[in-house]
Chains A and B, each alone.
Chain A
Amino acid sequence: MKTNALVWAAMFVPIAGSFLLPLAGGISKALRNLGAFLLVGTSLLCSGLLVPTVQAGTTLRISCPFLGGGQLFQADSLSVFMALVSMLVGAVIVLYSMGYISHYDNQNEYYFMVVLFLGSMMGIIYAANLILIYLFWEITAVACWRLIGFFREPLCVVRADKAFLITGFGAFVMLIGFIMVYGQYGSFDLEAIKSASTAHPVANLAVFLILFGILSKSATLPLHSWLPDAGVAPTPVTALLHAAVLVKIGVYVYARLFVATFTIDPLWNQVVPLVAGVSALVSGGAALVETDMKRIIAYSTISQLGFILLGLSIGNPLGFAGGLLYILMHSIAKGGLFLCAGVVEQKLHVKDITRLGGLIRTMPVTAVSFLLCAFSVMGIPPFGGFFSKYLVIAGSLKSGDYPIAAIFTLGAFLTVIYLFRLFAMIFLGEAKTTPVTEGAPVMVASVAFLALLSLAGGLLINYPSSYVQTTVQQILGVMP
């Protein structure tokens, strides 16, 4: 089937192609860079072409006998949504990398790992089998480990090991959970578990173990501490890991397993939002004290992931739709913030915000892009983040969970304050460094593109919103 071929291509073009990139790099740098962009672009295009099919309500299934279940991959509107978001931001990041990484060694490995990472992300998204999810999950962990330690300095290696050990340990715990699920239902196939678990909900211990893995990957308290430390990586990598893709794996798998597939004890709809709330508050507060700009944005990511997790876990369609929109808006805006910070860092080699200032006069485009992306993360209209923040908080109110809503409202205040502190200290006030010019054109264009995309996300909210409504209807069977 033609559409099934699109699903295969969306995953395996980047995965298989990534192995060719070092070879291409042996021939010419330009060829390798173009190749990387084309691989990611092809995957984006393939997922994009699936939109009409999944919007019509069809779920594509690719099956072959495998580990006690018929299905390998599936594409429904949730997975296509996630694939589009990840690949869109991934493509911008690859483009930006061409400007950023061009002065460093080991570029072949860099592009290899980035594209492999994005490809295995597609694998997780389209997987319809717990073992496949675990398999691709670990491939991303390996790629991520190489990328965080990209600069090879001892500190980078230690931080990379820390990230790998925490997420790897989480994945291992999650695997035990998967095996318990297998013990309960006799299958790793999501579809089979879905129909079986309506009668007998998944055991709480299995849910806990799987949740442990998810929280370690999506950097939620208390398993978040690897994420700020991973800021030693090259900035496009941090953008990729922290903003767009890696941390979203966790929340995606949460949505895929606990909302779309498993039937779980309603108790989790109380517990997970609480964990998310504490995580959002603690990391929001830490972002106000921290002085390293990449660490601040990383804490901000942890805090915003709390909002996403709240939306997905609160247990009503409104919040779920809000969580999905939040994934989109946050990926774009937070990717933009990291890339802006990268422009500053590449030019000045300074990450300490107390030693920066006044850059708006020499880097106007970067500064304004940063501000626009920050507005979106804060949830200020007319930017996209406004709608997602409203829907998430409204979702918690709809469930009657007023204390949770209060925690997240406080989290929203903190977001406004720490992002303004960051913006003011980098771009406003007196200049404390030697005057520098704007970054490379391709880098500045990337950040401006993401900033405009954030604005478009708000003004043209009807398109993502109607897509998400279809998704929610398919998954929960009710109209939000």
Chain B
Amino acid sequence: MTEAMLWYPIVIPALCGVAALALPRRLPDGVALLATTANLLLCLRLYGNEMNVSSPWAGFGILLELRLYHFSAFILAAAACFALLISLYSLCFMKGRAHGNQFYAYLLISLAMVNGAVLADNLLLMLFFWEGLLCTIFGFIAIGGREAFRSAIKAFVLVGVSDILMMVGMAMTGFLAGTLTISRIHLAPDSPVAGVAFLLLVMGATSKAGSMPFHSWIPDAAADAPLPFMAFLPAALEKLLGIYFLARITLDLYPLSPDSWLSPFLMTLGVVTILLAVMMALIQKEYKRLLSYHAISQVGYMILGIGTAVPVGIVGGIFHMINHAMYKSCLFLTGGAVEVQAGSTDLRKLGGIGRRMPVTFGCFIVAAAAISGVPPFNGFFSKELVYDGALERHWIFYMGALAGSFLTAASFLKLGHAAYLGKPRGEKSLSDVREAPPGMLVPMLAIAGGCILFGVANPLPINNLILPIIGPERAAGHHFAGLPQNPFLIVMTVLVLLGAWLNHVYGVRKSGSGVGASDHIHHAPVLQPIYDRAERRFFDPYDLGMKAVQGISRLAWWIDRGNDWLFNVLAVGTARFFSRTVRGLHDGSYSTYMLWVALGAILMGLYLNA
């Protein structure tokens, strides 16, 4: 166990990723599998240790500092598990698809970047890896198809803007604290400058996790990018990274107290993200797009939990982060299996494939139950903790989160019903659909198993992984594992789930099909026009921002043209005018010239006499 070992999780995947680009076709698959396996073994070996390394790098306080401790080791190990499972899954998924080399290269380099960002103990070193993910995200989405680059650029611009804002926040934090070393920064967000720095950092962290308002690339990427990308980055690793840093900010950098105005701010951001995104998820008619809106919505629970600034909420938020990474990547993987086997992810064409793909369906049921908060799966326990924390602060946050739960459950009932039950509605017959190959089933089964394990045996992760993060002082006198002690919470959750079930039954009756189960909400009087506009991207922050930028650039263009006119027209015109005038005086007449000479002599004489 040497200090150099801390560099391995960054260097090994990065080098293998570069090698994957150069290797001939088919070889990169093996390299990716080997590299992710090696990375997992390495991360497990590192787990449980505490280490710091530091060496000079770019100067100006930017050092190569890494810190391995319980929190980073936990995220590192979780990321390593996902990377291995996704690369295994991709062996089958990417078979016969174009750009395999690039796909595996981006996967490995992204893993290296995530590992680096998690381990980094210097704000700028962390940003180096964090923002470096932009390049691989761009690549991942761009290889999805001919027109995929539009979504790729959208993703790059949105995430890039939030990263630049975070860079400003980091610089301000560095000056306030006098150091860029994360573990030495402990500030209070009381002055205006510190408050702005805190907000900028939070904005960067939550955008990485996929929260509003920098979220709108995710649904577009879901449609364009290769599916394992969605399960890998937006569903799992980016959530881990974003919430990891959010927890670091609120626990270490700027310890958040419940009395600060920043706490209600974070909670509001969380609840708004939950509700708006889940409202959009509810009406989606495409498997992957529906999931991607949930990937946004669920971040809201984590932000809400951490924003409560009370121990039970923070534990819930962090627990929800790891749970979400599990069930959401599992859901995306089932979506990929359906895409490969049935040839479509359009819910209007799918139907009745549950019997033909029983294992996939089983994994879907587990993960969907977990995300809807059905006991005894993992999502139930983490959501209850978040609810507990929210209720402790104010009932309005609790009600918002509960409404989000209702809509989540309703949309997953609709998704499961439309895709796996009922009858196929498209022109294509789905009777020859078969179960996915084992290479795709194993990762799904492993993650679904994890969802059950983290649910049934929830004291295990809570006590071993999460309590060390918030520390014994904060945790003292609380009880986190097991069922919530307040029976009111359980009763409300059960009522909400029942309500979602009844709503689904009503919707199916009314529309006559599973896919139309949410149509009565979609076409409700007030919601209909809002939904229409949202579907036409009226509220997309990217499009709004681009419109603003177009306005600024038009203005700049006219300023520039005006300035150019000064040189091209005004200066030239003035010169021409003078030369014409002076030329007129040179008329070749001897007497005129003598007159000029006389005038000149008089002026000179006056000047000399004065």
Chain A residues with CB under 8 Å of chain B are: 162, 166, 221-222, 224-226, 281-290, 299, 318, 321, 375, 378-382, 386-387, 390-391, 393-394, 397-398, 405, 409, 412-414, 416-417, 420, 424, 428-429, 461-462, 465-466, 468-469, 480
Is B57 an interface residue when CB atoms closer than 8 A count as contact? yes
Which label, helix, strand, loop or mixed, suits the secondary structure of the B interface? helix
Partner of A462, one of B57, B150, B164, B167: B57
> Which 6 residue pairs across A and B have the least CB separation, nearest first?
A285-B556, A285-B553, A288-B553, A394-B171, A289-B557, A286-B560
Q: How far is the CB of A132 from chain B (nearest CB, A)?
A: 29
Query: How far is A287 from B131 in the complex, measured between Cα atoms in Å?
Result: 24
B549 touches A414 (CB 8 A): yes
Stretch of B155-163, B267-275, B287-295, B576-584 that contacts chain A? B155-163
| Residue ranges of B at the interface with A (Cβ–Cβ < 8 Å) | 56-60, 62, 124, 127-129, 131-132, 134-135, 146-147, 149-150, 153, 156-157, 160-161, 164-165, 167-168, 171-172, 174-175, 546, 549-550, 552-557, 559-560, 563-564, 566-568
Centre residue among B127, B129, B165, B549 by max chain A CB count within 10 A:
B549
A397–B550 contact, CB under 8 A? Answer: no
Per the bound structure, the CA–CA distance linking A390 and B124 in Å amounts to 9
B60 touches A225 (CB 8 A): no
How far, in angstroms, from A413 to B157 measured CA to CA in the complex? Answer: 8
Cβ–Cβ contact B567 & A225, under 8 A: yes
Known: A380-B135, A416-B160. A285 touches B557 (CB 8 A): yes
Quick check: A405 and B168 within 8 Å, CB to CB? Answer: yes
Pick from A221, A224, A286, A466: contact of B557, CB under 8 Å: A286
Cβ contacts under 8 Å, B161 to chain A: 413, 416
Partner among B59, B129, B549, B559 whose Cβ is within 8 Å of the Cβ of A381: B129
Chain B residues within an 8 Å CB radius of A468: 59
How distant is A153 from chain B, measured CB to nearest CB, in Å?
Answer: 17
Q: How far is the CB of A171 from chain B (nearest CB, A)?
A: 16
By a CB distance below 8 angstroms, the chain B residues around A379 are: 164
Cβ–Cβ contact B59 & A284, under 8 A? no
From the candidates B135, B146, B168, B559, name the one contacting A393 in the complex (CB within 8 A): B168
Contacts A397-B171, A416-B156 known; A380 to B60 CB distance under 8 Å? no
- Chain A binding site: helix, strand, loop or mixed by DSSP? helix
Q: Is the CB of B556 within 8 A of A397?
A: no
B563 and A221 contact, CB distance less than 8 A: yes
**Closest CB of chain B to A154's CB: distance in Å?**
15
Knowing A282-B560, A284-B556, A414-B549 touch, does A381 contact B60 (C-beta < 8 A)?
no
Residue of B nearest to A430 (CB): B146
User: Given A375-B135, A380-B134, A466-B59, 18 more contacts at CB 8 Å?
Assistant: A162-B568, A285-B556, A288-B550, A321-B60, A382-B128, A393-B167, A393-B168, A398-B175, A405-B168, A409-B168, A414-B549, A416-B157, A417-B157, A420-B157, A424-B153, A465-B59, A469-B60, A480-B60
Out of B175, B549, B567, which one reaches A397, CB within 8 Å? B175
Q: Is the CB of A282 within 8 A of B556?
A: yes
B555 touches A166 (CB 8 A): no
**Given the interface contacts A282-B559, A397-B175, does A409 sit within 8 Å of B132 by beta carbon?**
no
Which of B546, B550, B563 has the most chain A CB atoms closer than 10 A to its own CB?
A: B563
Once A381-B129, A381-B131, A413-B161 are accepted as A-B contacts, the answer to whether A480 and B59 lie under 8 Å apart by CB is: yes
Q: A282-B556, A405-B168 are in contact. Are A461 and B149 (CB under 8 A)?
A: no
Least CB distance from B440 to A in Å reads 31
A364 to B128, CA, bound (A): 27
Residues of A within 8 A of B62 (CB): 387
User: Are A424 and B168 closer than 8 Å at their CB atoms?
Assistant: no
Instruction: Given A409-B165, A416-B157, answer yes or no on A286-B553 (Cβ-Cβ < 8 Å).
Output: yes
Q: How far is the CB of B585 from chain A (nearest CB, A)?
A: 24
Write 11 A-B pairs (CB below 8 A) sorted by A numbering: A162-B568, A282-B559, A285-B554, A289-B556, A390-B124, A390-B127, A390-B167, A414-B552, A416-B157, A461-B57, A462-B56
- Bound Cα distance A398, B176 (Å): 10
Name the CB-closest residue of B to A287.
Answer: B553
Q: Using Cβ atoms and an 8 Å threshold, which residues of chain A touch B149?
A: 424, 428-429
Knowing A162-B567, A283-B556, A381-B127, say if A420 contacts B135 (CB, 8 Å). Answer: no
Contacts of A375 in B (CB 8 A): 135
A18→B566 CA distance, assembly (Å):
37
In the complex, which residues of chain A have a beta carbon less than 8 angstroms from the beta carbon of B131? 380-381, 386
Could you tell me if A222 and B175 are in contact, using CB atoms closer than 8 angstroms?
A: no
Does the CB pair A462–B60 fall under 8 Å?
A: no
Complex Cα–Cα for A70 and B90 (A): 72
Complex: how many Å from CA A160 to CA B487?
A: 82
The CA-CA distance from A337 to B233 in the complex, in Å, is: 30
Q: Which of B127, B156, B553 has the most CB of A within 10 A?
A: B553
Closest Cβ–Cβ distance, residue B196 to chain A (whole Å): 8
Nearest B residue to A467 by beta-carbon distance?
B59
Q: Is the CB of B556 within 8 A of A387?
A: no
Asked whether B58 lies within 8 Å of A462 as measured between CB atoms, the reply is yes
Q: Name the distance in Å between B78's Cβ and chain A's nearest Cβ.
A: 24
Determine which of B128, B164, B557, B566 lies in contact with A222 in the assembled complex, contact meaning CB atoms within 8 Å.
B566
Write out the residue numbers on chain B whose beta carbons fall within 8 Å of the beta carbon of A461: 57-58
Q: In the complex, which residue of chain A has the Cβ closest to the Cβ of B154?
A: A420
- Contact flag A285-B59 (CB < 8 Å), given A390-B171, A409-B164: no
Tell me whether A285 and B60 are in contact in the complex, defined as CB-CB below 8 angstroms, given that A225-B563, A380-B135, A398-B175 are known contacts: no
Give chain A residues whose Cβ lies under 8 Å from the Cβ of B135. Answer: 375, 380, 382
**Interchain CB contact under 8 A, A417 and B60:** no
Contact B132 A318 (CB under 8 A): no
What distance in Å separates the Cβ of B522 from its nearest Cβ neighbour in chain A? Answer: 34
Given known A288-B550, A382-B128, contact A281–B556 (CB-CB < 8 A): yes
- Residues of chain B within 8 A of A288, CB atoms compared: 549-550, 553, 556-557
Please pick, from A222, A394, A414, the residue contacting B553 in the complex, using a CB distance under 8 A: A414
B172 touches A285 (CB 8 A): no
* Docked pose: A236 CA to B129 CA in angstroms: 34
A398 contacts which chain B residues (CB < 8 A)? 171, 175
Q: Among B127, B161, B168, B563, which residue has the most Cβ atoms of chain A within 10 A? A: B168
Is the pair A318, B60 in contact by a Cβ cutoff of 8 Å? yes
Q: Which of A285, A290, A382, A409 has the most CB of B within 10 A?
A: A285
A397 to B196, CA, bound (A): 12
Q: If the complex has contacts A225-B560, A420-B157, A424-B149, are A289 and B553 also in contact, measured as CB distance less than 8 A?
A: yes
Write the nearest CB–CB distance from A158 to chain B, whole angstroms: 9
B156 to A, closest residue via Cβ: A420
State A428–B171 Cα separation when bound (angstroms).
35
Structural contact, B552 and A285, CB atoms closer than 8 A: yes
Q: Contacts of A281 on B, CB cut-off 8 Å?
A: 552, 556
Could you tell me if A397 and B168 are in contact, using CB atoms closer than 8 angstroms? yes
> What is the bound-complex CA distance between A424 and B138, given in angstroms?
12
Report B-chain residues with C-beta under 8 Å of the C-beta of A286.
Answer: 553, 556-557, 560
B15 to chain A, nearest CB (A): 12
Nearest-neighbor residue (CB-CB) of A480 within chain B: B60
Q: A397-B168, A420-B156 are in contact. Are A166 and B556 (CB under 8 A)?
A: no
Q: Which residues of the other chain, A, contact B132 by a CB distance below 8 angstroms?
A: 380-382
Complexed CA–CA distance, A393 and B165 (Å): 11
Rounded to whole angstroms, the CA-CA distance of A48 and B171 in the bound complex is 34
Chain B's nearest CB lies how many Å from the CB of A102?
32
Q: How far is the CB of A282 from chain B (nearest CB, A)?
A: 4
CB distance from A39 to the nearest CB of B (A): 34
Contacts of B150 in A (CB 8 A): 424
Closest to A378 in B: B160
Residue of A nearest to B171 (CB): A394
Known: A286-B553, A397-B175. A222 touches B58 (CB 8 A): no
